[in-house]
Homo-oligomer: A and B are copies of this chain.
Amino acid sequence: MVVVMSIAASREDIDRVATFIAEHDARAHISQGEERTIIGVIGYQHRVQREHLATLPGVEKVIPISKPFKLVSREFKKDNTIIPINGVKIGGGIPVVIAGPCSVESEKQILETAYMVKENGGHLLRGGAFKPRSSPYSFQGLGKQGLKFLQRAREETGLYIVTEVLEAMYVPLVAEYADVLQIGARNMQNYELLKSVGRIQKPVLLKRGMSATLTEFLMSAEYIMSEGNNQIILCERGIRTFVEYTRNTLDLNVVPAVKSISHLPILVDPSHGTGRRDLIEPLSLGALAVGADGLLIEVHPRPEEALSDADQTLGEAAFKRLMHLINHFTAWQENYQQQVAGTAFA
């Protein structure tokens, strides 16, 4: 932490800051510049202190230096976290495809979709049983019945299940049926929910909030990990900007940015990220190109009948085409990495 004193700060102001730091079990390192003084805080640093320092006379601003997260950082754990689920390794180098409908609508629909996902090479099945909808008048999901339909789809196809949990109190129920629990973007800072999924031992797919900074995103993962669950899969799903041609702005920059400071795997959801069916294929390839560990794709046997998100959902032909592209790209990428291994390009 660095305390920047204002140009007008007096000797007294500087001493007061130094005393304050000493009283809080840290050491003050004073650098007297020509224009102004800056004071480094060395030793144990509790966040609250920063806000207090900012209230002292003569202080212009206080700049944090240390990252506020620990367990999710690459400094804490150097190697990539790999999460094995039913033979698939998320973060293990081969991109994983999680596909399925926005909502579970009926047993027939989810079974049909599950077979479609499986036959085209998808790795996990997603589908919403509890749906967060911005309108109280929209379809809210089938609830527990939806979970049962998902379970049936797993029994039939062998695909493992990813589904959202909306509330801390429903974590035990959803964990009974799901293989991966999804935390939606609107709940990224629902700390009770984060703590709840932190106490179970199943993988958690944590979606980035619509206006979450990278630090906030990782702090939410830190909440889960600090409770003991380290099977966390991050997921970028679009941020809110002034842009009007996509529903959200899918931020592919965040993928390598996460990789550089965290060991956790990160997926990309181009369906929600763009909200446009015609952009899903190019942005899927883009996501893998920047280093994403996999994709979340909305698919439906008959998108025009889907009860939610119809306009961003792929039908079978488009999904088959996408999987074909992904497989070819993945093969090229593996091949390229092997070829350059040990050369200056590695």
Take A38-B40, A135-B219, A290-B282 as given contacts and tell me if A241 and B246 are in contact as well, using a CB distance cutoff of 8 Å.
no
Q: Are A321 and B304 in contact (CB under 8 A)?
A: no
Take A135-B222, A213-B245, A241-B242 as given contacts and tell me if A31 and B33 are in contact as well, using a CB distance cutoff of 8 Å.
no
Residues of chain A in range 212-230 having any CB-CB distance to chain B below 8 Å: 213-216, 219-220, 222-223, 226-227
User: Chain B's nearest CB lies how many Å from the CB of A261?
Assistant: 9
Stoichiometry, as copies per complex, reads 4
**A4, B41: Cα distance in complex, Å:** 13
**A279, B75: Cα distance in complex, Å:** 19
**A239, B69: Cα distance in complex, Å:** 24
Contact of A48 among B35, B138, B168, B191 (CB under 8 A): B138
Q: A11 at interface (Cβ–Cβ under 8 A)? A: no
Partner-B contacts on A (CB < 8 A): 2, 4, 7, 29, 31-36, 38, 40, 42-43, 47-48, 51-52, 54-56, 63, 65-66, 68-69, 75, 132-139, 166-169, 186-187, 189-192, 195, 210-211, 213-216, 219-220, 222-223, 226-227, 239-246, 249-257, 260, 273-274, 276-279, 282-283, 285-291, 303-311, 317, 320-321, 324-325, 328-329, 332, 336, 340, 344-345
